[in-house]
Amino acid sequence: MSFYNYFDEAQQEILRERARRVATAAQENNTIAVREVLLARVQNERYMLPVEAVLAVYEDALVTPIPCVPAFVAGLVNLRGHLVPVLDLASLLNVTRSPDQVASTIVVAAAHDYQVGLLVDQANDVQAIAEEQILPVPITLELGHETYLQGVTVEGVALLNLHAILSDPALNVDQQLA
Amino acid sequence: MSRDDELLKELLQTFQAEAAEHLGNMNQTLLKLERQPAERTRVTLLQDAFRTAHSLKGAARAVGLEDIERIAHVMEDVLKRARDHKLQLDPGACDILYNALDFIQMMLDGKTPDIDPICQQIADLAAEPLPEPEPEPAARPAKTNGEIKPAPAAKAKAPPKPAPEPAPVQAVEPPAPEPEPEPVVQPAAVAHPVEPVHTPAPEQNRNHEKPQGGDPQHPLMSSESDETIRVSISKLDALMAQAGELLVAKIGAEQRVADMQDVRAQLAQWPKAWREIKALFPRVASSNDAGRQLVEMLNRHYDYLQNVTRQISVTEQDINRDTLRLGMVTGRLQDEVRRVRMVPFQTFESLLQRTLRDAARTENKQAVLLLEGGEVELDKKVLEALKDPLLHLLRNAVGHGLEMPDDRVKKGKPAEGKVGITVSQHGSEVWIIVHDDGHGFDLDGLRRAAKAAGMAEGDTSADDVIAYAFQPGITTNQKVTAISGRGVGLDVVRQQLENLQGRIVVKNNPGHGASFQLIVPVSLAMTRVLLVSTGPELYALPLASIEKIIGIRSTFSVEGQTMITVDGRPLPLISLGAALRRPAPMPKNPLAVIMGIAEQRLALLVDDVLTEQELAIKPLGKPLLRVPNVAGAAVLGNGEPIIILNAADLVKSSRSARGITILSQAEREQKPKYWILVVDDSITTRTLEKNILETAGYEVVTATDGREAVAQLKKNPISLVVSDVQMPNLDGIGLCTEIRGSSEYKEMPIILVTSLENPEDRERGMMAGANAYIVKRGFNQAELLATITQLL
* Phi and psi torsions of B676, nearest 5°: -120, 135
Alpha carbon B553 to chain centroid, angstroms: 33
Select the residue of A64, A67, A176 nearest B581 (Cβ to Cβ). Answer: A67
Q: Which of A62, A63, A72, A83 to mutate to test the interface with B (most CBs of B within 10 A)?
A: A83
Tens of pLDDT, residue by residue over B728-768, are 888 888 898 888 888 888 888 898 887 766 677 778 888 88
Of B143-147, B270-274, B686-690, which range is least confident? B143-147
- Residue A19 pLDDT: 79
Q: Which domains does chain A show, CATH number per domain?
A: 3-168 (2.40.50.180)
Select the residue of B245, B622, B641 nearest A76 (Cβ to Cβ). Answer: B641
**Residue B524, pLDDT above cutoff 90:** no
**Residue B392, pLDDT above cutoff 90:** no
Interior/surface letters B265-302, b for 16+ CB within 10 angstroms, e for the rest: eeeeeeeeeeeeeeeeeeebbeeeeebeebbeebeeee
Distance CA B222, CA B24 (A): 7
**Residue B562, pLDDT above cutoff 60:** yes
| B110 within 8 A of B209, measured Cβ to Cβ | yes
- CA B222, B225, B231, B234 dihedral sign is negative
% of chain B with per-residue pLDDT over 90: 4
3-state secondary structure B63-125: CCCHHHHHHHHHHHHHHHHHHCCCCCCCHHHHHHHHHHHHHHHHHHCCCCCCCHHHHHHHHHH
CATH for the stretch B3-172: 1.20.120.160
- Residue B161 pLDDT: 40
* Phi and psi torsions of B509, nearest 5°: -120, 90
**What residues does each domain of chain B span?**
3-172, 234-340, 343-521, 526-655, 665-791
- Residue A34 pLDDT: 84
- Residue B459 pLDDT: 56
Concatenate the DSSP letters of all residues of B511-536 into one string: TTEEEEEEEEES-SSEEEEEEEEETT
Tens of pLDDT, residue by residue over A18-60, are 878 777 665 555 567 788 889 999 888 889 998 888 888 988 8
| B83 within 8 A of B186, measured Cβ to Cβ | no
**Residue B108, pLDDT above cutoff 50:** yes
Q: The domain B526-655 belongs to what CATH superfamily? A: CheA-289, Domain 4 (2.40.50.180)
> What is the model's pTM?
0.41
3-state secondary structure B556-589: EEECCEEEEEECCEEEEEEEHHHHCCCCCCCCCC
Distance CA A167, CA B461 (A): 51
Mean pLDDT taken over chain A:
80
- Residue B113: CB partners within 8 Å, gap ≥ 6? B103, B106, B107, B200, B201, B202, B205
- Residue B206 pLDDT: 38
Residues of chain B found within 8 Å of residue A76, distances taken between Cβ atoms: 620, 633, 641, 643
Complex ipTM tops 0.95: no
CB contact under 8 A, B661 and A84: no
Per-residue pLDDT, averaged over B592-598, amounts to: 80
CB contact under 8 A, B635 and A83: yes
Q: Assess if CATH 3.40.50.2300 describes domain B665-791.
A: yes
Distance CA B21, CA B46 (A): 17
Distance CA B524, CA B617 (A): 9
Q: Which of B125, B144, B148 is nearest to B78 (CA)?
A: B125
- Residue B672 pLDDT: 59
Is residue A67 within 8 angstroms of chain B, CB to CB?
Answer: yes
Distance CA B380, CA B369 (A): 22
Integer angstrom CA distances of residue B142 from A91, A143, B145, B168, B368 = 73, 77, 5, 11, 26
Tens of pLDDT, residue by residue over B323-366, are 888 878 877 887 777 777 778 888 888 888 888 888 888 888 88
Count Cβ atoms within 10 A of the Cβ of residue B202 and give its class: 0-12 exposed, 13-18 middle, 19 or more buried: buried
CB contact under 8 A, A177 and B628: yes
Instruction: Give the DSSP H or E segment for B429.
Output: strand B429-436
Distance CA B450, CA B476 (A): 9
- Residue B178 pLDDT: 38
3-state secondary structure B583-618: CCCCCCCCEEEEEEECCEEEEEEECEEEEEEEEECE
CB contact under 8 A, A81 and B635: yes
Distance CA B749, CA B788 (A): 9
Per-residue pLDDT, averaged over B150-160, amounts to: 38
Is residue B621 within 8 angstroms of chain A, CB to CB?
Answer: yes
519-558 of B, contacting A, C-beta below 8 A: 537, 539
Helices (DSSP H) in B637-755: which residue ranges?
Answer: 647-655, 665-670, 683-695, 706-715, 732-741
**Residue A87, pLDDT above cutoff 90:** yes
CB contact under 8 A, B623 and A77: no
Tens of pLDDT, residue by residue over B165-180, are 333 333 333 333 333 3
- Residue A172 pLDDT: 81
Distance CA B695, CA B782 (A): 12
CB atoms near residue B749 (< 10 Å) = 19
DSSP state of B398: I
Tens of pLDDT, residue by residue over B177-200, are 333 333 333 333 333 333 333 333
| B79 within 8 A of B53, measured Cβ to Cβ | yes
Q: Which of B5, B9, B2, B52 is nearest to B28 (CA)?
A: B52
- C-alpha torsion B638→B639→B641→B642, nearest 10: 20
Is residue A164 within 8 angstroms of chain B, CB to CB?
Answer: no
- Residue B650 pLDDT: 85
- Residue B289 pLDDT: 80
Tens of pLDDT, residue by residue over B264-281, are 888 887 877 888 888 877
CB atoms near residue B752 (< 10 Å) = 28
Tens of pLDDT, residue by residue over A147-162, are 778 888 888 788 888 8
Interior/surface letters A117-132, b for 16+ CB within 10 angstroms, e for the rest: bbbbbebeebbbbbee
**Residue B619, pLDDT above cutoff 80:** no
Contacts 24+ apart (CB under 8 A), B238-246: B239/B337, B239/B340, B240/B337, B240/B338, B240/B341, B240/B525, B241/B525, B241/B616, B243/B330, B243/B333, B243/B334, B243/B337, B243/B338, B244/B334, B244/B525, B244/B526, B244/B616, B245/A81, B245/B616, B246/B330, B246/B333, B246/B334
CATH architecture of B343-521: 2-Layer Sandwich (3.30)
Residue A102: what residue type? V
Residues of chain A found within 8 Å of residue B578, distances taken between Cβ atoms: none
**Residue B162, pLDDT above cutoff 60:** no
- Residue B165 pLDDT: 38
Mean pLDDT taken over chain B:
74
